[in-house]
């Protein structure tokens, strides 16, 4: 099933060939320029899921709390509710003025990583010994690796050869391997034991390489944000599961409560922000043309993985 990201901010149907286009949604900070809501002041800062645009009209639902409100999107499934929450920065428990740029960059990625780590720990990592993490240089993978390291879970990061040296300096992974290692005719070392795959790369060929290399010790794979596994009919379809963070959020909230989950996530996020300077190089980008250049580099895989881009329009 599609995550339906283009349904959050539908393209104006009057635009010629509107069905060919989509408004890209991004997590970000916005400043209120005009307000017709008595509880929301001009100049207030908001964090939420916004279009990649200079302006947006936000219509709060009836209840506006001190720290957040929701935007009603009845066209979307109920499990997308977390995307509809807009935080008011003044009382936002996850906002960090001292680390605002890192907060802005890592917040949605970290929470995906946190919930993925939480699922792995809930499942006792499927009785495996090692978690393989693809796209090890990505911010999502790095956050996941640090969280699992704190929990004492052995991980191996899989990355391109050019990223091995600087990734080793981050201290996130006890071990790193290049993608080519997965193609080795020799089987994976016995010391790895049974293996769980956290597939952040979303590359089916890489997953196939892992399955062949690990063999019968491949017990489970969680694919972050990918949806093509349901179409498979071989044995790998049974071992791969699409991980959707909002579903784990709902599950955890039902188990320990919304407040307890928020406290746990907030503490872990604060710890991560304290160390982020050591492994993320921030670059601020201003204006539509510069933003488009960064976007194209990201799409083509040309962006430097050491950098994190803060875009402003």
What pLDDT sits at residue 117?
A: 98
Q: What are phi and psi of 112, to 5 degrees?
A: -60, -45
What pLDDT sits at residue 233?
A: 47
Question: Residue 30 forms beta bridges with which residues?
Answer: 46
What pLDDT sits at residue 302?
A: 87
Question: Residue 307 forms beta bridges with which residues?
Answer: 281
Strand order from edge to edge, sheet including 195-199: 175-178, 155-159, 130-133, 195-199, 218-224, 240-243
**Fold that domain 104-247 belongs to in CATH:** Rossmann fold (3.40.50)
Q: What are phi and psi of 253, to 5 degrees?
A: -60, -35
What pLDDT sits at residue 227?
A: 39
Distance CA 195, CA 131 (A): 6
Alpha helices in 151-257 (DSSP H): 164-170, 204-214, 236-239, 245-256
Sequence spans of domains, the chain: 1-92, 104-247, 281-313
User: Which pLDDT tens digits describe the chain residue by residue (313 residues)?
Assistant: 457 888 999 999 999 999 899 999 999 999 999 999 999 999 999 999 999 999 999 999 988 999 999 999 988 888 788 899 999 999 998 999 999 999 999 998 999 999 999 999 999 999 999 999 999 999 999 999 999 999 999 999 999 999 999 999 999 999 999 999 999 999 999 999 999 999 998 888 888 899 999 999 999 999 985 534 444 545 555 788 889 888 899 899 999 998 899 899 999 999 999 999 989 999 999 999 999 999 999 888 888 888 999 999 8
Tokens of 30: 């916005």
What pLDDT sits at residue 246?
A: 84
Question: Residue 14 forms beta bridges with which residues?
Answer: none
Place of tokens 């990223």: 163
| Other residues' Cβ atoms within 10 Å of the Cβ of residue 84 | 16
Residues 6+ apart with CB under 8 A from 309: 105, 283, 284, 285, 294, 298, 303
Cα-to-chain-centroid distance, residue 114 = 9
């Amino acid at each position: 099933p599609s995550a339906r990201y283009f349904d959050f901010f539908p393209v104006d149907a009057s635009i010629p060939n509107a069905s060919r286009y989509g408004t890209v949604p991004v997590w970000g900070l916005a400043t209120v320029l005009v307000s017709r809501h008595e509880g929301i002041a001009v100049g207030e800062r908001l964090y939420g899921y916004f279009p990649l645009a200079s302006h947006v009209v936000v219509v709060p639902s009836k209840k506006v709390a001190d720290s957040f409100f929701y935007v009603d999107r009845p066209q979307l499934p109920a499990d997308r509710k977390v995307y509809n929450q807009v935080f008011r920065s003044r009382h936002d428990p996850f906002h960090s003025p001292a680390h605002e740029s890192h907060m802005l960059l890592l917040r949605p990625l970290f929470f995906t990583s946190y919930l993925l780590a939480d699922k792995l720990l809930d499942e006792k990592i499927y009785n495996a010994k090692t978690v393989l993490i693809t796209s090890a240089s990505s911010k999502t993978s790095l956050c996941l690796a640090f969280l699992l390291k704190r929990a004492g879970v052995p991980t191996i990061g899989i990355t391109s050869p050019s990223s091995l040296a600087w990734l080793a300096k981050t201290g996130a992974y006890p071990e790193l391997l290049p993608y080519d290692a997965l193609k080795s005719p020799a089987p994976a070392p016995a010391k790895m034991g049974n293996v769980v795959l956290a597939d952040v790369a979303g590359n089916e060929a890489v997953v196939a390489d892992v399955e062949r290399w690990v063999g019968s010790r491949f017990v489970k794979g969680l694919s972050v944000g990918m949806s093509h596994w349901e179409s498979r009919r071989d044995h790998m379809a049974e071992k791969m599961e699409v991980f959707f963070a909002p579903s784990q959020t709902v599950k955890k909230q039902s188990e320990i409560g919304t407040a307890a989950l928020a406290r746990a996530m907030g503490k872990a996020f604060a710890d991560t922000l304290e160390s982020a300077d050591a492994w993320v190089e921030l670059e601020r980008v201003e204006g539509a043309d510069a933003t488009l250049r960064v976007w194209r580099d990201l799409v083509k895989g040309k962006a430097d993985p050491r950098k994190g881009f803060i875009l402003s329009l």
